[in-house]
Chains A and B, each alone.
Chain A
C-alpha cells in the first residue's frame, strides 16, 4: 500500500515549456486534489476531482489543466510554464467527499522550477 505517489520528484522547465505531473493513489478514494505550496504561504488548491469523471477549479486554477484518468490517477498539466508557477506541487486524496472537509492524504510533492 503506497498511499499517494507523485512523479517526478523534481523538474526544471524553461518558460513556455509544458509538462504533466502525475499522481496516483491506491486507497480507492473518490476525491483527489492538486495543491501548490509557496514559501510563507499555506497550501492553495489548484483543482480537485470529487469523483472519477469530474473535475473542478479550486482557488488558483489559471495556467493549469487536469485530467482524472480513472479512479486512481489525477494528472496536472502546465501548458506553457511561467516563472510564477515555480512551486512545490502536492497531490492529495480523501476517502470522505470533499464537501465534508475530512482528512486528506498527501503525496511527497514535486518541486518545480521554471526559469
Chain B
C-alpha cells in the first residue's frame, strides 16, 4: 500500500493532557504536512515540516520528523475540547503525489 499510516487510529484523553499521534510512510519525502478535519468538514492545514528539518513548533503543536525511520509525530500540548477532530499526515513524495494517511481520531473530554 502506498498510504501513510497513523497510529493510533483513535485516542481519547482528558482536557489539559497532551496528545501524541504518529505517522509512518514508505518512500522518501520532500515534506510532510499535518491536517485537521472536524466532523463533516474539509481538511485544514496545521503545519508543514521539510525533509531537512527535524522539529517544528506552531503554538501548541510540535511536529518531529525522523527521515531515517520514515516517521513523524504530532504533539498537541494542553489539549482542549475544541481539539476534538481527526488528524491526518500527508507525505509529499514529488510530482503530484501527496500521500494522505487514514487519520487519527482524537477525542478530548471536557
Contact = CB atoms under 8 A, between A and B. Distances in A.
Interface in A52-103: 56, 58-59, 90, 92, 98-99, 101-103
B96 A56 contact: yes
A90 B90 CA distance: 15
Contacts of A102: 48
Contact of A106 (B33, B43, B97): B43
Chain B binding surface SS class: strand
Contacts of B76: none
Contacts of A44: 100
Nearest to A40: B102
A102 B88 CA distance: 15
Interface residues of B, number: 26
Contacts of B64: none
B92 interface: yes
Contacts of B31: 101
B3 A109 contact: no
Interface string A26-66: 00000000010000111111001000000010110000000
A16 interface: no
A4 interface: yes
A45 B103 contact: no
Contacts of B97: 45, 59
Nearest to B99: A42
Chain B CB within 10 Å, residue with most, of A41, A43, A44, A45? A43
Interface of B: 3-4, 30-31, 33, 35, 40-45, 48, 88, 90, 92, 94-103
24 contacts: A4-B42, A41-B102, A42-B3, A42-B99, A42-B102, A44-B100, A45-B98, A58-B96, A59-B97, A90-B42, A90-B43, A99-B94, A99-B95, A101-B33, A101-B94, A103-B33, A103-B45, A105-B45, A106-B35, A106-B42, A106-B43, A107-B42, A108-B42, A109-B40
